[in-house]
Amino acid sequence: MGTSNVVNVRKYCRYMKMQRIIIVVVLVLFLVPWITHYYLSTVERSSIRITHSAHSHADLPEDLSPLKGSDLQTRIEELLRIKGSVSSELREMEHKRQHLLSEIQLYTRNIEQLKIELLHQQTELTKLKISVEQAQVAQREALEQNTPELALPKRFVPNHLLPVLPAISRQLTRNCRMFSCFDHSRCSITSGFPVYLYDPDKYPVMHYGWDIDGFLKTTIKQALGYNAHFTNNPREACVYLVLVGEALKDNGDVSDHAGKFVDVSPLDPNALKRLPYWGGDGRNHILLNLARRDLSTNLGDAFSSLDTGRSILVQSSFTYQLFRPGFDMIVSPVLGPPGGDVWQECPSMVPARRKYLLTFQGEMKKPKDLNPSTIENSYDPKDDDEHIELDKFIVDHLRSLVIGSTNDKFSFEFECVPASDDTMNIGELDWSLCGTDSSRKAVLKESTFTLIFAPKSSELLTTSLLQARIYEALRAGAIPVILGGDQIQLAYNEVIQWKRVCIFLPRARVTELHFLLRTIPDNDIILMRRQGRMIWERYLASVQSTLDTVIAVLRERLNIPPLPVETVPAISVFNDTFQPILALIHLDTEPEESLGPLEPPYNSPAFKRNFSLFLTQSHQIWNDYGDPFHLYPTLPTDPLLPSDAKFIGSSRGFRPIGRGQGGSGKEFSEALGGNSPREQFTILLLTYEREQVLLDSIARLRGLPYLNAVVVVWNSPKLPASDLKWPDIGVPVHIIKGPRNSLNNRFLPLDNLNTEAILSVDDDAHLRHDEILFGFRVWREHRDRIVGFPGRYHAWDLNTQNSWLYNSNYSCELSMVLTGAAFLHRHYLHLYWKWLPQAIRDKVDEYMNCEDIAMNFLVSHITRQPPVKVTSRWTFRCPGCPQSLSEDDTHFEERHKCINFFAQVFGYMPLLNTQYRADSVLFKTRISHDKQKCFKFI
């Protein structure tokens, strides 16, 4: 503090010296003109008297009359000499006066400059005081902290195989639960959940003459190879996967030579016990049966007659007696095509109400087709008779709807026409599917709701056919209505909230079905359809999604978090030996306004919810467009503390305005306030061959409060010149080499982005400091949305009536904020590359356009919220800049095409309109002279 006192004394001395100079200048300004005026007035009066005397002989004094001509001439010459002398003196004095006036003007300018410098120094001093105060608060918090920051412990995995234990009886295995039949010691919470797969070719588990579907084997190997939990080391594995289906005979069929389904399971129980890591009882083994067919002899349960030990069974068909809740797992059969984009399988989500209100395609099988011999003493033929009578009543009632007086259209097909080769008649015990896959898909695409019957047998918990019908309905956007829904369970029911997707109705309430469907409004129909598509795409659509989901559910049971999401290495354009030249570049000064403290870079805390996230918000992650497969540093939806917690018990990191008392502009500029702890933001800037424009844009960022770093993605193939002078702005500036020239690089999740808040900026966007900080403060209250400056909207094309237009005109309603100048959460950069369909990024590369539209689609789709526009700024201009992409004649035409293509990929238009704009508090508010507005110029 001694140095600070010396600086203050020097400033005070300099201030007193300036006061004395000002007094002298003021005296000169007043005295010199007064003396000059007095002297000139006297001379002029004397000159006038002499001149008047020369022309008026009558008025000459008496002593001049006797003068001779020579004396008079001498006197006149003397007077002329005096006049010339006076004139010379006057000119000299005028010159001196002009010189003094110039000096006065110079002094005046110096005074004004000194005043400006004084104001600047006072502002800088205020900033420094604020910075010192904030640093002292941070120091106190560090000293008072009595617990260390949470960090992920060292990864702990076993280094031994399962010890061999004696097998247990089948009666005990039927009561298996995770606490009794699973070895938790191999799956520590920091293990990362390593998963080992038995090679099905090296370790076959089928009877002789049977084999696993070759496509399924190959796909499972590839899919597991993409999963981050896969390990080739069985000594460290937590669980062991055994692929046991779909089983086919050598000729590719599932039936014997007589065309009847086999009476024995194709699975060889002795082969299971010979597996090298079986451990005697099969604990921690997962028997994965992805069969798409239900074998009639064992009610679709391939394991009903086998001793599977303590292994976990994963399949789509179960009986109540053999299913072990919380231990076994129900999955959907894999019905998806081997390739192609998932979104291409799905029709549009709109209109909400399609051609048919309700449809059904299927045929009820006769009782003689059923073989209940394996239901172990639980089967009663009377049950079939009762169910058949009820089914007949249901069919009759549904047929009556078709011929009823309602305007709603129905399509029911209760008798199957002989189908072609691609018929999905899979030997089900109950209702079989009718028609080909393409014909069923065509009907479902025109169905608002589709009817699905639960199995007639009360012993069946789920069947492959039931799961297949759910799969097909969700793919087509037809909302499943399950009659007998109180009897069955669906895939991954422990994590998926199926009531948000399907309607479950007891069979006996079929007469209320039509009334119930009519009560559901359009917005709920779209909500359920959208939720169903998300479930289908994420968890059911492919072998990859099925395998990832099975592993994620098992990991969820053990409270083991997923592995951290991958980031992109930030590779500098400079090599290790080259250091860029830093220079202090002065541009136009920013308005003299204290906007906040100048602090050293402070990174946002990351991975603070490694374990609590899945303990407290598991269902939201699985069902609300979260991501159960990856762990992210932070989420935009992380919960907020109540206001009083900032002062009682949880005050660390918070910077309330006026220490909690509030205040106007002065107190506002000293602290971030808000509902979140202190933080900073990173500027992410994409550039291409506009070096000087880039350097000027970076230089303007000097002295910007709350700035953590500037990350420039260098999209140009030509590296920057070695003699460039990069502006020294007081924070790190990273120049990162883009993988290739792509606008998608604007949203690369680089590993050096250390803050939650990302300001995405074009290299030619010129934002004032107060605008940037105002946008930052607004974003902190809307962390899950895009917050920025240039607003745009999507307009309906009145000419074609079936497409959208991109519009940039001034409008009282908008739906997009362009990422050329906008804040967004770092989480969305990961989702842009991890979750957004590849087809959208490919379209961005094709047009070299529309990446900002794609990000708006993504965020609006996830949040179902529009962006937030701040201030009145609508567009940006860069006079003298090189040609930009937006000046191309085809720019807007491409954006029209983008917006329609993106809507097709998403299945609907996710953008939402808003008529809201954020302006500063106290904007245009008259306040007292002793108060200050939050932002002077906003």
* Residues taking part in catalysis: 852
The closest alpha carbon to 124, from 116, 136, 135, belongs to: 116
Q: Is the peptide bond before 103 cis (omega within 30 degrees of 0)?
A: no
Strand partners for 564: 631
Contact 597, 670 (CB under 8 A): yes
Peptide bond into 351 cis (omega under 30): yes
Can you spell out the DSSP letters for 555-580? HHHTTPPPPBPP-B---BSS-TT--P
CA dihedral 831, 832, 833, 838 (to 10 degrees): 120
Cβ contact 236:184 at 8 Å = no
C-alpha 334/C-alpha 542 separation (Å) is 6
Q: Going by DSSP bridges, is the β-strand pair 791-796/725-727 parallel, antiparallel, or unpaired?
A: unpaired
The secondary element (H helix, E strand) that includes residue 441 is: helix 437-445
Q: How far apart are CA 813 and CA 815, in angstroms?
A: 7
- Up-side HSE of residue 675: CA atoms within 13 Å toward CB? 13
CB-based contact 245:212 (threshold 8 Å): yes
Q: C-alpha distances in angstroms, 328 versus 90, 303, 710, 871?
A: 113, 12, 50, 56
Alpha carbon of 291 to those of 218, 248, 465, 554: distances in Å? 15, 10, 11, 20
For residue 785, give the nearest of 863, 719, 696 by alpha carbon. Answer: 863
Angle at 635 between CA 634 and CA 640, to 5 degrees: 100
700 within 8 A of 727, measured Cβ to Cβ: no
Sign of CA dihedral 564, 784, 817, 778: negative
Residue pair 437/424 in contact by the 8 Å Cβ criterion: yes
